[in-house]
Amino acid sequence: MTTQTTTTQTHEAYISAIRSLVIERAELPTEARERLSAAKLVYGSGMTGTRGVTFFQAWKNGDAGHDFVEICATGEESDLQIAGTTIHELGHVLAGPTAGHGKEWKAACATLGLLVQQAGGQSYAIEHFNVELWATIAALPVPTDGAPVFKAGHKQPGLPTIAKPRPCPMGIGSRGGRSRGIGSGSRLRLWVCACPKPVKVRVASDDFAATCNHCGSAFTRALAAVPAPPADEAAA
């Protein structure tokens, strides 16, 4: 009697395989390829109602800092959506923390094979992907390790209820986005001086030529002084 062994494809292995395919086919500089490969890519519950989230320089391995990318079970809809969200988040890694969902991020996604991009709630379709890339993704075994049951209104004890999809924080801030409604996006940038207790100034400009009267130093953009906001994809 022959015993047939069934191999389980996990969600973790699925998103990792998608990343490998994306990096393999994309024409990228060595530095960009290494950054994508080094990012910590995980499958987890995530923030309620979110499909994926990227935390820039939030994972340390030795002396090096790497981006942390989570594909979220709470926002999962289909294998197609998981594939799209994985590339969406890798696009953030490639574009960097200041790109938001602007031109640089869209270009990064296109380079990685996602030709149609939306900041959040995208109804992914096969035609949104590069044809050759999708052919390789479609050939992958899909996850067979189960499916999340984080459904809206779910009353089973111990399971969270999804009340409302979260907006994407990368749609707001210095780019003046509107993901939380018209007029909700702040365009102010944070600048700091070199005082022991830095003077903080917010101005609506990428160029701020001013010096502090206390320490005499020029104000600098506070990109490195404060954690970069996470980039995520809302579920709707």
Identify whether the C-beta of residue 28 lies closer than 8 Å to the C-beta of residue 21: no
Domain with 159, as residue range(s), is 11-167+228-234
Residue 149 confidence (pLDDT) above 70: yes
* Residue that wins the pLDDT comparison between 171 and 71: 71
Residue with tokens 């994306």: 22
In a domain, 153, yes or no: yes
Q: Across the chain, where does the E strand assignment appear?
A: 40-44, 50-61, 64-72, 189-192, 200-203, 220-221, 231-234
The answer to whether residue 212 is domain-embedded is no
Report yes or no on 179 lying in a domain: no
Q: Is 127 a domain residue? A: yes
Tell me if 120 is assigned to some domain.
yes
207 assigned to some structural domain = no
Q: Is 39 helix (H, G, I), strand (E, B) or coil?
A: coil
Q: What is the dihedral of CA 27, 67, 92, 101, to 10 degrees?
A: -160
**For the chain, how many structural domains are there in total?**
1
In a domain, 89, yes or no: yes
Q: How confident is the model at residue 4 (pLDDT cuts 50, 70, 90)?
A: low
Q: How confident is the model at residue 182 (pLDDT cuts 50, 70, 90)?
A: very low
Q: 27, exposed or middle or buried, with CB in 10 Å at 0-12, 13-18, 19+?
A: exposed
pLDDT of residue 87: 97
Q: What angle do CA 223, 227, 232 make, to 5 degrees?
A: 105
In a domain, 155, yes or no: yes
The position carrying tokens 């109804």 is 123
Nearest to 129 by CA among 112, 141, 143: 112
Q: What is the mean pLDDT of the chain?
A: 81
One-letter amino acid for residue 235 of the chain: A
- Residue 170: what residue type? M
Cross-sheet strand order for the sheet of 40-44:
40-44, 64-72, 50-61, 231-234
Which whole-number Å values give the CA distances from 79 to 18, 55, 143, 144, 146, in the listed order? 11, 23, 8, 11, 12
Q: Which range has the top average pLDDT, 38-52, 73-87, 196-210? A: 73-87
% of the chain with per-residue pLDDT over 70 = 75
For residue 174, which of 67, 79, 93, 102 has the smallest C-alpha distance?
102
* pLDDT of the residue at 191: 77
| 180: pLDDT strictly greater than 50 | no
Strand, helix or coil for residue 128:
helix
Taking the model in full, what pTM does it have? 0.70
Question: Is the pLDDT assigned to residue 196 strictly greater than 50?
Answer: yes
